[in-house]
Amino acid sequence: MNKTKNRMIYAIAGVAVMLFAGIVYGWSVLSAPIAAEFSSWTRAQLSLIFTVTMCGFCLGCSLGGVLARKLSGRVLMFLSAAMFLGGFLFSASVVSFVQLLLAFGIILGTASGIAYNAVIGTVSKWFPDKSGFISGVLLMGFGIGNFIIGKVYTALTPAVIGAWRGPFKFLGILIAVVFAVCALFIVNPPADFAPGSGKKKVQITFHFRLHVGPDKIIKTPCFWSVYFWSVFVSAAGLILVSQGSGIAKEAVAGISTGSVATLVGMISVFNGIGRVFAGLVYDRFGHHKFNMMFVVLGFTLSAGLNLFAIMTGSPVLLTAGFLTGGLAYGFVTPTISAVIRAFYGGEYYSLNLSVINTNLLIASFGSTIAGILYDKTGSFVSCIVLIIVLAAAGAACYFIKRAIMLKDATLYEETITEDELLAIARSHGAKAFQ
């Protein structure tokens, strides 16, 4: 079998896993019937569960990165499957806030992070010539999964107190089975696998870091500018995702539960579209040319549209705001993923990816802060204003990165292909070379 031509089977398995691993981002929809049963829980408490879930996701990413040095992607997938099964069954039986915090926040969040790291770190090795594209495709699955599963969950959950517990058990079993099957295809390529290796090699010296681990990357100013950019814009995206249901209900009086689920789900759909598009743009033009500022401007426009939607009660403006925000959020993770591989190489990719993904540990508190702001003001306008502030902070990080990028360099001599040279040139600009 020609593995270069048939490598798409590994990408398909990876997308299937990501579709289900991304369900933790659907908390805004999943939590609605839970909030109806536990009516004494505040918006801040419900937001805290999402924050803890994102912290668990970061923990899982980091754990997956460390374990990937000793365990195969297949083994990590089996571990994640077991945790998803246990986490959903535990969640379906909770009777207290702390129990749900542990079951959904810690166990399911960690399981999602492990699966995420295993898929990104393994499947991307089959596409060294299309790193932006494969990151976008995989992350598309992660982004739209909660829309698809959220619609199924809503259809399976009648408007009866406690009816959500059965669908939770069903999801746990379904995800465990899907992960176990897909685990068979989450494998590394053979040592001699090298698509495009026939390209002419050129020897150059350039301002560019390759094959360095977390201990080195955290010492580079350029890394931290990208890191804090990701903190601010990820926080903006998580606020939109976690508070989307509330924003929709405040903007459009009398909107149905099904319509809310569809609108919030469309954030995920355009998140997925954005992830693929971001990967393609990165491969073609390089991240700093377009992606980072597109995210900032996209969130600003989204927030403006959502504000006007609340002021006018317009479902059209609300829909436009959600779609724009979803598209902007879709650009975040593929840009981070591709930059980490391009700047610091593939040898320590899983570990380096887990390091920068810790941005969610900080960013996830944006959801909790948004919940507190709502409890204090009684309006989601305060949450939307917070998104604008975060977008402005992201813009500042972008300009700082541009100012220090050429200084954040150590000279390496590397033998690379012409295609790789062109990709680096597009990403860094002609001035990055001596």
Q: What is the DSSP string of 20-47?
A: HHGGGGGHHHHHHHHHHHSTTS-HHHHH
Strands (E), 165-303: 201-207
Question: What is the pLDDT confidence band of residue 208, given thresholds at 50, 70 and 90?
Answer: very low
325-358 pLDDT, tens per residue?
Answer: 999 998 888 788 777 777 777 677 777 877 887 8
3-state secondary structure of 196: coil
47 Cβ contact list (under 8 Å, min separation 6): 242, 243, 367, 368, 370, 371, 372
Tell me the pLDDT of the chain averaged across its residues.
82
d(CA 161, CA 159): 7
Q: What is the DSSP string of 121-142?
A: HHHGGG-TT-HHHHHHHHHHHH
22: tokens are: 């991304």
Per-residue model confidence (pLDDT) at position 318: 92
d(CA 150, CA 154): 6
Q: Tokens 């199924």 identify what position?
A: 152
243: tokens are: 């508070």
3-state secondary structure of 54: helix
Q: How many residues does the chain have?
A: 434
Is it the case that residue 324 has pLDDT exceeding 80? yes
413 Cβ contact list (under 8 Å, min separation 6): 203, 204, 205
The C-alpha angle with vertex 391 and arms to 143 and 114, in degrees rounded to 5, equals: 35
Q: What percent of the chain has pLDDT over 70?
A: 85
User: CA dist 309 to 4, 253, 254, 318, 378, Å?
Assistant: 49, 11, 14, 5, 17
Question: What is the pLDDT confidence band of residue 156, given thresholds at 50, 70 and 90?
Answer: confident
Do the beta carbons of residue 350 and residue 121 sit within 8 Å?
yes
Q: Which of 194, 165, 166, 171 is nearest to 38 (CA)?
A: 165
Q: Pick the most confident of 2-16, 174-188, 284-298.
A: 174-188
Question: What is the pLDDT confidence band of residue 196, given thresholds at 50, 70 and 90?
Answer: low
Q: Which of 123, 133, 124, 112 is nearest to 59 (CA)?
A: 112
Spacing of C-alpha 109 from chain mean position: 12
d(CA 314, CA 306): 9
d(CA 282, CA 295): 13
d(CA 299, CA 315): 18
Is it the case that residue 407 has pLDDT exceeding 60? no
**pTM, to two decimals:** 0.70
d(CA 27, CA 261): 11
Look at the domain 8-432 and name its fold.
Growth Hormone; Chain: A; (1.20.1250)
